[in-house]
Amino acid sequence: MPKNSLLVLGLMSGTSADGIEAALVRISGASPKLKSKLEGHASLPIPKPIRARILQIAEGTPVPAADISQLNFRLGHLFAEAAIATCKKLRVPLKSVALIASHGQTIFHQGPPIPFLGAKTSSTLQIGEPSVIAARTGITTIGDFRPADMAAGGQGAPLVPFADYLLYRHEKLGRVSLNLGGIANVTVIPAHAKPQDVFAFDTGPANILIDALVSHFTKGRQRFDAGARIASRGDCLVPLLEKLLADPYLRLQPPKSTGREYFGRTYIGKILTQGRKLSARPEDLIRTVTVFTALSVVDALNRFVLPRTKIFQLIVSGGGTRNPLLMGQLEAALAPIELLTSEKFGVPEQSKEAYAFALLAYETFHHRPSNLPSATGATRPAILGKICYA
Ligand SMILES: Nc1ncnc2c1ncn2[C@@H]1O[C@H](COP(=O)(O)OP(=O)(O)O)[C@@H](O)[C@H]1O
Ligand SMILES: [Mg+2]
């Protein structure tokens, strides 16, 4: 790594709000020739009451502005503590970290403009006050990456495709990057792609439905189906699977994005109602949504990607890589496309997004844009984020 490299700590908490992922990345050069290498990573828990409040707000429950304001600062402290704990774990002095990249916790995202108080408006809100992170760590912190893209006419998402392009592009092989977080999203990188050839969209649910059913049936004692152990005991309910596969979101033309607003409480309520009609056992419902999740990704690839470009490899990241049923279904349905995990490219599955935001912050720090207009719909490249000097 050249002498003028920077150590950047990426912090991410996704739709699942299951924890804070941290990735310490050594970065040098400039896009598209930027070089990066992971120095270490960590996962830190989000305390239960904080997670519960995040999920409540993200599902659209009306809450006082006071709570959002307080949570913004409380999360800022939590992210700062996560940064400090990560450096301690990795035995890296805080002083050697040039920059923190903090995505923040999304509590609301409206990508395409919709009518609001007499004007079409889009907006996004990630909380976890970066000024607090900068003050507590003494490290310059960049946060709030999405608004600049939105202000440039984009949907503010997805932003990870910039990193996918840097990490995965290949002269001869078409590749798709798939992240299985709460929501599943793909970045398509055709062989020999220029940045403007890259496209990306959310295919639908990843772990969000599985997690919600597991929490429901265990009354919150379990948060996810570890190792797909519950689903493995169940049967797939074909009538329900067919209903789910008829979901209009799957047919919607990309670019498109989704979240807890759609695949949230109301959606789960409908699945539970169907389940009662079919006298389903909990394990049957969990298996059915797991299969649906895999097939919704396959459907998106068959419908919107493979007719346009040849794909040789699918590179998977996110917590869903630890669900063997989900991965097995994907592999079986997509053969002969090769399924790999991001680990093969030097990025551990759980820290892929934290790693990506470290790259975005590095570009911002050097006054360079890092949105891909072909992925977000922005009318121009934009320098992303807000800088809080320590
Ligand atoms: N051992 C495991 N077995 C099955 N699923 C897992 C396992 N570990 C994590 N997951 C799933 O991954 C999810 C978290 O994935 P993550 O990539 O952190 O999503 P997000 O970006 O939305 O926070 C968990 O909620 C869970 O559903
Ligand atoms: Mg997570």
Supply 229's token pair. Answer: 């152990």
Give yes or no for residue 3 having a pLDDT over 80. no
Give yes or no for residue 1 having a pLDDT over 80. no
Nearby residues for ligand 2 (ion, Cβ within 5 Å): 14, 16, 18
Residue count (the chain): 390
Give yes or no for residue 353 having a pLDDT over 80. yes
Q: Are 198 and 345 in contact (CB under 8 A)?
A: no
Q: Residue 117 C-alpha to ligand 1 middle, in angstroms?
A: 38
Residue nearest to atom 21 of ligand 1 (CA): 14
Q: Residue 55 C-alpha to ligand 2 middle, in angstroms?
A: 13
Q: Looking at the DSSP assignment, which residues form a beta bridge with residue 8?
A: 25, 99
Give yes or no for residue 115 having a pLDDT over 80. yes
pLDDT value for 102: 98
Residue nearest to atom 10 of ligand 1 (CA): 319
Over its C-alpha atoms, the chain yields an Rg (Å, rounded) of 20
Minimum-distance ligand 1 atom for the alpha carbon of 318: 17
Supply 82's token pair. Answer: 């996560």
Q: Residue 382 C-alpha to ligand 2 middle, in angstroms?
A: 26
CA atoms within 13 A on the CB side of 253: 0
pLDDT digits (tens, 9 = 90+) for 73-105: 999 999 999 999 999 999 999 999 999 999 999
Q: How confident is the model at residue 260 (pLDDT cuts 50, 70, 90)?
A: confident
Q: Residue 73 C-alpha to ligand 2 middle, in angstroms?
A: 20
CA atoms within 13 A on the CB side of 60: 10
pLDDT digits (tens, 9 = 90+) for 50-59: 999 999 999 8
pTM for this predicted structure: 0.95
Minimum-distance ligand 1 atom for the alpha carbon of 206: 27
Rounded CA separation 258/262 (Å): 7
Q: Residue 379 C-alpha to ligand 2 middle, in angstroms?
A: 30
* Strands 141-143, 119-127: pairing kind: unpaired
Check residues 304 and 258 and name the one with the higher pLDDT. 304
Mean pLDDT of 10-21: 95
* Strands 199-205, 183-189: pairing kind: antiparallel
Regarding the beta carbon of 220 and ligand 1, being less than 6 Å apart is answered no
Regarding the beta carbon of 319 and ligand 1, being less than 6 Å apart is answered yes
Testing ligand 1's pocket by substitution, the residue of 16, 43, 286 carrying the most ligand atoms inside 8 A of its CB is 16
Regarding the beta carbon of 227 and ligand 1, being less than 6 Å apart is answered yes
Regarding the beta carbon of 207 and ligand 1, being less than 6 Å apart is answered yes
Minimum-distance ligand 1 atom for the alpha carbon of 21: 18
Give yes or no for residue 7 having a pLDDT over 80. yes
Minimum-distance ligand 1 atom for the alpha carbon of 352: 17
pLDDT value for 13: 96
pLDDT value for 261: 84
Give yes or no for residue 224 having a pLDDT over 80. yes
Give yes or no for residue 2 having a pLDDT over 80. no
pLDDT value for 363: 98
Q: How confident is the model at residue 4 (pLDDT cuts 50, 70, 90)?
A: confident
pLDDT value for 257: 87
Regarding the beta carbon of 185 and ligand 1, being less than 6 Å apart is answered no
Regarding the beta carbon of 324 and ligand 1, being less than 6 Å apart is answered no
Mean of the per-residue pLDDT values of the chain: 97
Query: Counting ligands in written order, which one lies closest to the CA of residue 44?
Result: 2
Of 204, 225, 213, nearest to 273 by C-alpha is: 213
Of 123, 24, 140, 6, nearest to 82 by C-alpha is: 24
* Strands 338-341, 313-317: pairing kind: parallel
Mean pLDDT of 174-185: 97
Got the DSSP string for 225-292? Answer: -GGGHHHHHS---HHHHHHHHT-HHHHSPSS----TTTSSHHHHHHHHHHHHHTT--HHHHHHHHHHH
Query: Counting ligands in written order, which one lies closest to the CA of residue 20?
Result: 2
Minimum-distance ligand 1 atom for the alpha carbon of 17: 23
